Amino acid sequence: MGKAERTRQFIIEQSAPVFNVKGLAATAMSDVMGITKMAKGGLYGHFESKEDLSRAVVDYNISLLISKVSQVVAGAETAREKLFAMLDLFSTPVQFPVEGGCPLLNFGAESDDTNPEIKKKVRETILGAQKRIANIILDGIEKGEFKPNFDSKTFAIKTMTIIEGGTLIGRVLGSNSQMKLMMDMLKKEIEEELI
């Protein structure tokens, strides 16, 4: 990675939490200048516009989230353990695994009526996450861990909906207690599907 690429990556990594906390519209280039200690001209030497930086930051935050999920899933052996590890990762919305909260929730809510490109990225990520959850279940069925009639698609949709809704509620209330109830409910449902 050359110096220009390293500087570009530095700008993205430093400003990603700011965008995730303040939002795409509310984050100003002066915020980015403050966090990176770079002049405006230096920033625009790496990004054509704030929108260009915004797209890079959304990609970075989403990639960071996917990476954290991949790490916990890779550390588990059985399908049950993989699902539990994923649920545990999201069980504390107040201490969300990505600084500033869930980028899918934050950027999705902000862009649903204003930015079709970012909305599409968030949509694809949600659908990808649902597919990943469903595939873990299907793998568990194939290996004889889960009952053959475990509805992988419905469970995946339910899980993502609970994670996103529970994250919003937990962060607004400043409490992890309601999400813990939801995660325990999902874990119980997984246990009931074991052979």
CATH code at position 82: 1.10.357.10
The model's pLDDT over 120-165, given as tens digits with 9 standing for 90+, comes to 999 999 999 999 999 999 999 999 999 999 999 999 999 999 999 9
The separation between CA 89 and the C-alpha centre of its own chain, rounded to angstroms, equals 11
The long-range contacts involving 53-56, CB below 8 angstroms and separated by at least 24 positions, are 53/11, 53/12, 53/15, 53/29, 54/19, 54/24, 54/27, 54/118, 55/117, 55/118, 56/8, 56/12
pLDDT band at 38 (very low <50, low <70, confident <90, very high): very high
How high is the pLDDT of residue 1?
75
Share of the chain above pLDDT 70, in %: 100
Q: How many domains does the chain have?
A: 1
Can you give the residue range of the structural domain that contains 62? 3-192
The model's pLDDT over 80-112, given as tens digits with 9 standing for 90+, comes to 999 999 999 999 999 999 999 999 999 999 998
Segment 48-62 mean pLDDT: 96
Whether the per-residue pLDDT at 166 is higher than 90: the answer is yes
Q: Are 90 and 179 in contact (CB under 8 A)?
A: yes
Segment 184-190 mean pLDDT: 98
- Residue 37: C-alpha distances to residues 3, 42, 48, 168 (Å): 17, 10, 18, 32
How high is the pLDDT of residue 50?
94
Two structure tokens written together for 149? 């009639």
Segment 24-50 mean pLDDT: 95
**Nearest-angstrom CA–CA distance, 54 and 58:** 6
